[in-house]
Amino acid sequence: MHPCLEKILLNEDEIVARCKELGQQLTEEYKHNEQPPLLVALLKGSVPFLAELIKHIDLDIQFDFMDVSSYEGTESIGDIKIIKDLDCSVKNLDILLVEDIVDTGRTLKTVKTMLKNKGAKTVRVVTLLDKPDRRVVDIEADYTGFEIPNEFVVGFGLDFNQKYRNFPFVGVLKEECYK
């Protein structure tokens, strides 16, 4: 195991199995919709989750990316910066926002409001991880892979200072590696 890891919280098989369940659930939820949803994934953390999830959605979906940033190291800085906006319009579309983690909830709340203000018909959220103990704004995902305790996690897209996103599992970072 990597020397900066305390433990593995979710292994690859568990994550893939949960993505399959979520994909099947989303297929059911949207299959009678007028139009398939546009998946909007937030760079960079949600990329591995998006890649796994879409294999299991049996609909003619499309996806696009936004890049917003609010973290320096392990600290949420509160102020959400847009680094890259969507390439396409969301007007009258059913949007499924794809996140790796909902932590304080600030990113999700801000992006959800932005998409609604741009005329999205509906905005729902699917997240791989939810850390409810850390929430500072009132927001919940519609579909959640796993609820996790209040520990700083890395892997499957999640980073510490841009590192460890490529781990095929989610692990807890040792405090001595970031404090």
Active site residues: 103
- Taking the least distance from each CB to ligand PRP, the nearer of 10 and 102 is 102
- CA torsion sign for 169, 162, 146, 124 is negative
Binding site for ligand HPA (CB under 6 A): 71, 101, 103, 152-154, 158-159
Report 44-83 residues binding ligand PRP (CB under 6 A). Answer: 44-45, 69-71, 76
Should residue 71 be labelled a site residue for Mg ion when binding is judged by CB under 5 A?
yes
CB 150 within 8 A of CB 131: yes
The partner in contact with residue 152, picked from Mg ion, ligand HPA, ligand PRP, none with C-beta cut-offs of 5 to 8 angstroms by kind, is ligand HPA
- Tell me how far, at minimum, the Cβ of 36 lies from ligand PRP, in Å: 24
Q: Where are the beta strands (DSSP E) in 73-114?
A: 75-84, 94-102
Should residue 178 be labelled a site residue for Mg ion when binding is judged by CB under 5 A?
no
CB 98 within 8 A of CB 82: no
- Tell me how far, at minimum, the Cβ of 68 lies from ligand PRP, in Å: 6
Should residue 107 be labelled a site residue for ligand PRP when binding is judged by CB under 6 A?
yes
Instruction: Find the part of the chain contacting Mg ion (CB under 5 A) among 21-29, 65-73, 79-87, 102-110.
Output: 65-73
- Taking the least distance from each CB to ligand PRP, the nearer of 25 and 70 is 70
List the one residue out of 88, 101, 90 whose CA is nearest residue 42. 101
Q: Please give the helix or strand (H or E) that residue 107 lies within, else none.
A: helix 106-117
Q: Which long-range contacts (CB under 8 A, 24 or more apart) does 27-31 make?
A: 27/56, 27/57, 27/58, 27/59, 30/59, 30/94, 30/96, 31/58, 31/59
Instruction: Find the part of the chain contacting Mg ion (CB under 5 A) among 6-14, 48-56, 66-74, 90-98.
Output: 66-74
SS3 of residue 35 by DSSP:
coil
| Of the residues 9, 153, 159, 173, which one makes contact with Mg ion according to CB under 5 A | 159
d(CA 11, CA 7): 10
Interface positions with ligand PRP (CB under 6 A):
42-45, 69-71, 76, 99-108, 159
